[in-house]
Amino acid sequence: MLDELIINCKNNLPLVNEELIKKAFQLSYESHKNDFRASGEPYFNHPYEVAMIVAKEISLDDISVISALLHDVVEDSEISIEFITKEFGKEVSEIVGGVTKIGGVFKGQEITKAENYRKLLLSMVKDVRVILVKFADRLHNMRTLEYVSSQKQRRIAKETLEIYAPFAHRFGLGILKWEMEDLAFKYLNKDAYDDIAKKIKDTRKDRETFIQRFSKPIREQLTEHGLKYEISGRPKHLYSIYRKMVMQNRPFEDIYDLLAIRVIIESNDSNDCYYVLGMVNQMYKPIADRFKDFISIPKKNNYQSIHTTVIGPEGKLVEVQIRTRKMHEIAEKGVAAHWKYKEHVGAQDQDLEDWVNWVRDIFENASKDEASKEIIASFKLNLFQDEIYVFTPKGDLRRLPMNSTPVDFAFEVHSSVGYHCIGAKVNGKIVPLDTVLHSGDQVEIITSKNQRPNKSWLQFLQTHKAKNNVRKFLNKEEEKIYDTGKELWEKKIKKLKLTFSSDDVTKLARKLKFDNHRMFYRAIAMDKLNLEQILNPEPEHEDKHVPEVAFDKFIDIARTSAGTVVVEGEHKGMAYSYAKCCSPIPGDPVIGYVTIGEGIKIHRRDCKNLINMLKSGEERLVPVSWPKANNNFFVAGITLRGDDVPGILKDISNSITTYQNTNIKSVNIATQDSMFKGTITVYVKDIEHLHKLIERLKKNKGIFTVERFDAENQ
């Protein structure tokens, strides 16, 4: 067995690593020696036959043959993919892993959209040899299908006819495609198969006699002119005859191209094909509207051949195909063969068409002594990589963008499923809602009538449909909150017998540091404002707004911990105070400004008031700085807002403490209506240290805003 495989490899492949093939043969044999197929044969016969198909009928490279020998080893034994990598290299392990993965895609699945399955296969592999080995695996399974149950026969045959055969067609593997179709036809419609097979058998002798009679003068003329050639009857496959009978609604006897011959010229000169055409036309009368010149005008995949139909003896029509040996090999084995030939393909396959043509060029231009491994190294499949194909629990396929999550999938199934999505199972395991899905995953959505879309979902959603639905929902919820706040406000002012115009509300909102009246009403609805205190303040509470008090307390602590500001130059020792307009905090770039009667005011360098005052002259500026010492830290404040989800405080703490061992001084978090707002004070080296912490915190899921604790933000 091994000797026969090695001989076929040497006869058909550019380079052969004999030792590695022997090693793979031995490992496969040992792994499967105790296993048997449904036919009763040793299981090892299967990987061996698959390797023979790869060597003889696909003829790609020795890596493919080795991968074919090992393609079931990982799935059926205790040998790991890591072991395959170590012993046979990364290329072999990637192909073996890919064949195993796509083999699992169809288990227990019902075929619904065959084209989607073909795209699914493409999206799951990076190396085209995965698919070629899978073709060989499927072909051998079809050749031995008689030994499995009738139900399994029909499932595998349908899968082959709808997915693998058209796929092989697009890769130009004509011989594999025709055999797959005929074998699938045999198990899906045995009566029709047997009927056509019998008619072909019954007419074979007459047909062969006629073809011999027809081709004899052509042979004599070609020999006389010194041309090397091969003439054969062109095989017509049972399934293609059946399809033509069905599509044209004609009986078997009327399918005219059952009579056909192929003339293959052992020459690289295409002009010889035209010479043969002239000879045939002199012997037999051609039918003008059935002449096709695919040599001067090749098909889109560069398929080249002359097709002509002539009237032979007894007035019978005979199709004659004329091509060179090279043209024939491309038509039979070239990966680009028969592209779009007698098949309707949608515009979405333009990328695949371009790529297949590129593959054809590689095979056409690669000489026998060229290092095939270098060619194969660039032979990678990169189509449909921006899409993934995932299953519903019932086996339906859904197409999604790359990096999609279970929530994207939920909205793809139905908007109501998306709205109430509370969890997901991927391949049977519960996963977080922001888990990235991959081609071939089976996704089950868990719903709850109490679940509602969350603003944090927008951070990981990929599909326009999901994002749009979530935004619509959030906008509706926001509108409800706004309406509730406005209603509470109007009830309150009515109760207190107060009158506020629209401008009055806007002015009040700004005074309370809200951007607009909508934000003001929102705060009322979420119980973040005490309307009683605002509209009817008691004397002891007047002018005491909680945010301002909290900020004042914070900056007192921050400045105290930093130490005394250093006033430099001739103004050293002069009294100073901090400007309330910009409230500088330790770590801010600062400058002093000499006032009349109030000593030096310490401002931030970017303070707007300071910039305006400088118009009267820069001579009042005094250089000042925060005290500098080794390992000196300032107290800085950070405000956060977000969703009150389990573990959020832990995530916040980790983000801070894992950066340069930052210490937290205090944490003050309040929650309300599944939201939280809080202030955290930390020890930082400088303002850059603070900015880094803010950026890290922003990356946490569930956090909406992270800002420096600043008077302007209160």
Condensed to tens digits (0 to 9), the pLDDT of residues 470-495 reads 888 888 888 888 888 888 888 877 77
Out of 77-81, 625-629, 634-638, least confident range: 625-629
Report which of residues 65 and 36 the model is more confident about.
65
* pLDDT number for residue 115: 55
Of the chain, the end-to-end C-alpha distance in Å amounts to 83
Task: Evaluate whether 53 touches 47 at the Cβ level (below 8 Å).
Answer: no
Measured in whole angstroms, the distance separating CA 385 from the mean position of its chain's CA atoms is: 5
Supply the Cα-derived Rg of the chain in whole angstroms. 39
d(CA 570, CA 90): 73
Q: How many CA within 13 A on the CB side of residue 666?
A: 11
The structure tokens listed for 258 are: 């059952």
The structure tokens listed for 419 are: 């709205």
414 phi and psi angles, rounded to 5 deg: -170, 145
* pLDDT number for residue 668: 80
d(CA 553, CA 637): 11
Q: List, for residues 355-365, the tens digit of each pLDDT value.
A: 455 544 544 44
Q: How many CA within 13 A on the CB side of residue 665?
A: 16
114 pLDDT above the threshold of 70? no
d(CA 257, CA 319): 6
* pLDDT number for residue 276: 92
Closest CA to 57 of 156, 236, 148, 178: 178
Report which of residues 469 and 710 the model is more confident about.
469
Q: Which helix (H) or strand (E) holds 222?
A: helix 190-224
306 pLDDT above the threshold of 90? yes
Closest CA to 576 of 562, 564, 585, 588: 564
Percent share of the chain, pLDDT over 90:
12
Q: Let me know if 4 is a catalytic residue.
A: no
Active-site residue, from 30, 41, 61, 76:
76
* pLDDT number for residue 188: 92
Task: Evaluate whether 12 touches 56 at the Cβ level (below 8 Å).
Answer: yes
Active-site residue, from 62, 75, 272, 478:
75
Task: Evaluate whether 184 touches 65 at the Cβ level (below 8 Å).
Answer: no
Q: Let me know if 75 is a catalytic residue.
A: yes
51 pLDDT above the threshold of 80? yes
340 pLDDT above the threshold of 70? no
| DSSP conformation letters of 198-218 | HHHHHHHHHHHHHHHHHHHHH
Q: Which helix (H) or strand (E) holds 669?
A: strand 664-672
Task: Evaluate whether 175 touches 221 at the Cβ level (below 8 Å).
Answer: no
d(CA 439, CA 102): 10
d(CA 453, CA 460): 13
Q: Can you give the pTM of this predicted structure? A: 0.53
* pLDDT number for residue 81: 87
Q: List, for residues 424-435, the tens digit of each pLDDT value.
A: 898 888 888 889
| Average pLDDT of every residue of the chain | 78
Q: How confident is the model at residue 440 (pLDDT cuts 50, 70, 90)?
A: confident
Report which of residues 516 and 20 the model is more confident about.
20
Residue 590 β-bridge partners: 604
| For the ranges 281-285, 499-503, 685-689, the one whose mean pLDDT is highest | 281-285
From residue 6, alpha-carbon distances to 45, 48, 52, 667 in Å are: 16, 12, 9, 73
